[in-house]
Amino acid sequence: MSTVTVKDYRANAQASTWCPGCGDFAVVAAMQRALVNLGLKPHQVVAVTGIGCSGKFNYYLGANAFNSMHGRSLPVAQAIKIANRDLVVIAAGGDGDGYGIGVGHFIHACRRNVDITYVVMDNHIYGLTTGQTSPTSRKGFKTKTTPYGAAEHPIRPLPLALASGCGFVAQGFSGDVKHLQSLFEAAIQHKGFALVNVLSPCVTFNKEQTYDWWRENLVNLDEREDYDPADRSAAYKVVNELNSLVTGIIYREERSDYQDELPNYDPQPLIYQDLSRPIQDRDELLAAFM
Ligand SMILES: Cc1ncc(C[n+]2csc(CCOP(=O)(O)OP(=O)(O)O)c2C)c(N)n1
Ligand code: SF4
């Protein structure tokens, strides 16, 4: 049996245009290592993105790639998984992509629970469009779109995911690739929709949430023996008390996924199903709508 290595992924990846030092490099590296450690080959994986610097995640991952529109990675990723349950499906993007224009899809994906992994590279700013305030920027944050400081409260992805019914909620940091890899492995193995929000510095446009800033402020829950990620109340409590400045698996719940809930769902990929129907079935169906 042939084994898979990170080289197999790198061989398919494109050359990067990310700024040197961008946190997103670590996200790709951690994901490649996670996929390899789980024994998954590039052809078994598809990564779907929207638009943004982080939207180039799948150019550099080296698996199958689908680049959708800004904020639209989740509907495409869910459709791919429903059509072909055999694929490992990863959706990825930025905080603007996922918590701004795409936030409606995010909330519904949490409650729908299709078995995909969602990676958000959360740098608290719009990187690709050169440094505007994003939905996760702190109140008072000054950028070219908010020269007097952001007037709005930020979206808080972790409590939002918990309140929306997400069964796997984790947060990682680009400054700790090994830990991030472990979170990705757990997210991919989780049956159902899994969020990994990654605090991933934009070294070019966000001079506030830097690697050093995150290192000084984050608490790793995976290192706390008294923390139980199966306890939903404890998850709410810890993200509120520590203002979401946590990493690790915050909440994990075993439950049936979307496809299990569908009575007529055929688990075989669509390509193996006989979708042809006798012409009279079609006529009867049409007649029922007339
Ligand atoms: C419908 C639509 N609206 C706006 C844009 C412009 N746009 C491209 S990327 C982006 C935001 C990028 O920020 P984020 O999602 O946080 O990703 P980052 O670049 O920081 O990784 C915006 C507003 C677009 N491409 N399409
Ligand atoms: S602009 Fe920011 S997010 Fe985009 S590649 Fe550069 S450092 Fe990364």
C-alpha span between 35 and 38 (Å, rounded): 5
The tens digit of pLDDT for each residue in 2-31 reads 799 999 999 999 999 999 999 999 999 999
194, β-bridge pairs? 117, 168
At 207, list the tokens. Answer: 């001079």
Average pLDDT over residues 162-178: 98
In the DSSP assignment, the letter for residue 16 is P
User: Is residue 192 in a domain?
Assistant: yes
Q: Which residues of 187-225 are buried (b: 16+ CB within 10 A; e: fewer)?
A: bbebebbbbbbbbbbbbbbbeebebeebeeebeebbeee
Number of structural domains the chain divides into: 1
Domain extent for 68? 6-289
Average pLDDT over residues 68-83: 98
Burial category of 248 from C-beta neighbours within 10 Å (exposed 0-12, middle 13-18, buried 19 and up): buried
* pLDDT value, residue 281: 83
C-alpha dihedral sign at 205, 207, 208, 214: positive
Burial category of 32 from C-beta neighbours within 10 Å (exposed 0-12, middle 13-18, buried 19 and up): buried
User: Is residue 139 in a domain?
Assistant: yes
User: Is residue 224 in a domain?
Assistant: yes
Q: Which residues of 127-161 are buried (b: 16+ CB within 10 A; e: fewer)?
A: bbeebbbbbbbeeebebeebeeebeeebbbbbbbb
For ligand 2, atom 1, name the residue with the nearest CA. Answer: 127
User: Is residue 17 in a domain?
Assistant: yes
> Which H/E stretch holds residue 47?
strand 45-49
Find out whether the beta carbon of 24 lies less than 6 Å from any atom of ligand 2.
yes
C-alpha span between 287 and 268 (Å, rounded): 30
User: Is residue 130 in a domain?
Assistant: yes
* pLDDT value, residue 278: 76
Q: Which atom of ligand 1 is nearest to the CA of 51?
A: 9
pLDDT higher than threshold 90 for residue 181: yes
* pLDDT value, residue 279: 78
User: Is residue 1 in a domain?
Assistant: no
Ligand nearest to the CA of 124: 1
196: CATH: 3.40.50.970
The 3-class SS string of 277-290 reads: CCHHHHHHHHHHHC
CA atoms within 13 A on the CB side of 44: 12
Question: Dmax over Cα atoms in the chain, in whole Å?
Answer: 68
Q: 99 phi and psi, to 5 degrees? A: -110, -5
For ligand 2, atom 5, name the residue with the nearest CA. Answer: 18
Q: Are the C-beta atoms of 89 and 117 separated by less than 8 Å?
A: yes
Stated pTM of the model: 0.96
Task: Please report, for the chain, how many H helices and E strands are present, in that order.
Answer: 12, 10
Find out whether the beta carbon of 19 lies less than 6 Å from any atom of ligand 2.
yes
For ligand 1, atom 26, name the residue with the nearest CA. Answer: 70
User: Is residue 104 in a domain?
Assistant: yes
C-alpha span between 178 and 162 (Å, rounded): 25
C-alpha span between 56 and 73 (Å, rounded): 12
* pLDDT value, residue 119: 99
The tens digit of pLDDT for each residue in 36-54 reads 999 999 999 999 999 999 9
User: Is residue 93 in a domain?
Assistant: yes
